[in-house]
Amino acid sequence: MARIRSDGLIFRKERRVARIHDPRNSFALTDVESEIRYDPLTGESSRICHFSLPAAAPSDLADLAEARRPGCPFCPGRIDVVTPRFPEDLVPGGRFRRGEAVVFPNLFPYDELSAVVVPVARHDVSMADVPESLVVNGIATARDFLSATLPRMGGDLYGMVTWNFMPPAGGTQLHPHLQVLGTSEPGSATRRELAAEESWLASTGRPFAPDLLAAEEEAGRVVGRTGGWTWFVPFSPIGLLGDCRAVLPGKSTVLELTDEDIADFAVGAHRALRGFAGAGLWSFNMTFVSDRSGERSGRHSLSARLLPRLYIDPVLHVPDANYLNMLLGERYCMVWPEEVAARLRVAFSEG
Ligand SMILES: [Zn+2]
């Protein structure tokens, strides 16, 4: 099953068959297939169990957003009163502003520099129509905030920009907000990825990302391009109902993004989110995977991961995580990545 390309990149997969007497079919002996796929960079595995799973946004989401508006800490009128402030020597004025976007410290910090970006005053935004201007505001503000603060923290750090949108993704406020970290410790997944990219560069003399994009293109999982960004659905999935990535070869940190890069990213993000929303999804995590600000080896290309999240059973609050991913570090997916790619390709072609 494994497919080894001349550049050494392997899309390795293994088919598994479980045999059961199926009560849904008069207990006939039935083969049920699943598949294990291995990430071509890190070798980490994920499982594809392609069962049908309907998803739908709650019908009362607009009502919920409206009910939360009077107490929303991120809406105009309250954001300047209830959110924390940075020390003056880090952020003069206490809060960082760019247009209507506001950055303030996380009341529950994950690290030395842990901030929240509220990109727009608008309270109610749906995944089906996240405005490009919101994405631009959020990322450009995060970039400018990190550019202003990381040097004051002593330099060679990871500037991380992440997003939890809506409760299934861990968003505790419905009002759109991103999270920004400045840290010397980017977390296990980024550390593993960078180490694997360093090994790839050392053994092939080439960075990994261009080889990966060429291989994903050949495999039919590239769904679109916006400026320098290539959007694709990875061979080895991480989302229960799919996920996608964007890669910008030639740049390795959010700090390096130009306004044009960010505008191009926003076009793709809007299309990808709309594509997932078309399948009934309404919540997502997004993160940029950045290298250290001082890294000059060329090992890493900046990427963004977009992971739709859901409640498997909204009534019983069954999440899309269980022992597999939480305890065993094994991701599982209920759709073929190639089907997700086909759906997103339509969203990208519609502009
Ligand atoms: Zn609000």
Distance (angstroms) between ligand 1 centre and the Cα of 112 equals 26
The answer to whether domain 61-314+340-349 has CATH 3.40.50.1970 is no
Distance (angstroms) between ligand 1 centre and the Cα of 304 equals 26
Rg of the chain over all Cα atoms, to the nearest angstrom: 21
Block mean pLDDT (10 aa), the chain, length 351: 70 97 95 96 94 80 94 97 96 97 96 97 96 98 97 91 97 97 96 97 95 96 98 97 97 98 98 96 97 95 97 89 94 95 96 77
Contacts of residue 270, Cβ cutoff 8 Å, sequence gap at least 6: 129, 130, 131, 132, 135
Distance (angstroms) between ligand 1 centre and the Cα of 265 equals 25
Distance (angstroms) between ligand 1 centre and the Cα of 328 equals 37
The pLDDT tens digits for 282-314 are 999 999 999 999 999 999 999 999 999 999 988
User: How far apart (Å, rounded) are the C-alpha atoms in residues 155 and 81?
Assistant: 31
User: How far apart (Å, rounded) are the C-alpha atoms in residues 30 and 74?
Assistant: 53
User: How far apart (Å, rounded) are the C-alpha atoms in residues 140 and 245?
Assistant: 19
The pLDDT tens digits for 197-251 are 999 999 999 999 999 999 999 999 999 999 999 999 999 999 999 999 999 999 9
User: How far apart (Å, rounded) are the C-alpha atoms in residues 154 and 294?
Assistant: 11
DSSP secondary structure letter of residue 252: -
Distance (angstroms) between ligand 1 centre and the Cα of 49 equals 38
Q: What is the pTM of this model?
A: 0.96
Determine contact, residues 183/216, Cβ cutoff 8 Å.
no
pLDDT at 1: 45
Q: Domain-by-domain residue ranges, the chain?
A: 61-314+340-349
Distance (angstroms) between ligand 1 centre and the Cα of 219 equals 42
pLDDT at 69: 96
Distance (angstroms) between ligand 1 centre and the Cα of 73 equals 6
Tell whether the torsion through CA atoms of 164, 167, 173 and 174 is positive or negative.
Answer: positive
Q: Which of 98, 133, 121, 120 is nearest to 267 (CA)?
A: 133
Distance (angstroms) between ligand 1 centre and the Cα of 151 equals 31
Tell whether the torsion through CA atoms of 19, 23, 28 and 31 is positive or negative.
Answer: negative
Distance (angstroms) between ligand 1 centre and the Cα of 79 equals 9
